[in-house]
Amino acid sequence: NAGVTQTPKFRILKIGQSMTLQCTQDMNHNYMYWYRQDPGMGLKLIYYSVGAGITDKGEVPNGYNVSRSTTEDFPLRLELAAPSQTSVYFCASSPVGNEQFFGPGTRLTVL
């Protein structure tokens, strides 16, 4: 049982490039989330999903897109990367009405 896994661990992008952050969970959780954590700050919700085929915006969705074609996977797409998207990105999952389980994070730098 690997829990929540994220790839890559680190990435450097140039302004305007695109990339997909991968997130997979093997706990059969219905709910999945993407957060960003800026230096010295708390977590801000980007997008979330309550099940396969269902996604919704969180607090800071601009510049990002998500899809949820399976229960296990919840990729986050960055289009036209900007320096403001430099952050650490965390994926999480949870069963209904319970605590969230977090992945190890992806550290992204946009130059």
Partner 1 sequence: AQSVAQPEDQVNVAEGNPLTVKCTYSVSGNPYLFWYVQYPNRGLQFLLKYITGDNLVKGSYGFEAEFNKSQTSFHLKKPSALVSDSALYFCAVSPYNNAGNMLTFGGGTRLMVKP
Of residues 48-107, those binding partner 1 (CB under 8 A): 48, 50, 56, 58, 90, 92, 94, 96-105
Question: How many angstroms separate the CA atoms of 98 and 110, rounded?
Answer: 34
> In whole angstroms, how close is the CB of 110 to partner 1 at the nearest point?
19
How far from 51 is each of 11, 15, 16, 48, 74, CA to CA, in Å? 28, 32, 31, 9, 10
> In whole angstroms, how close is the CB of 44 to partner 1 at the nearest point?
8
E strand or H helix at 87, and its extent? strand 87-94
Which chain residues interact with partner 1 by CB under 8 A? 4, 31, 33, 40-43, 45, 48, 50, 56, 58, 90, 92, 94, 96-105
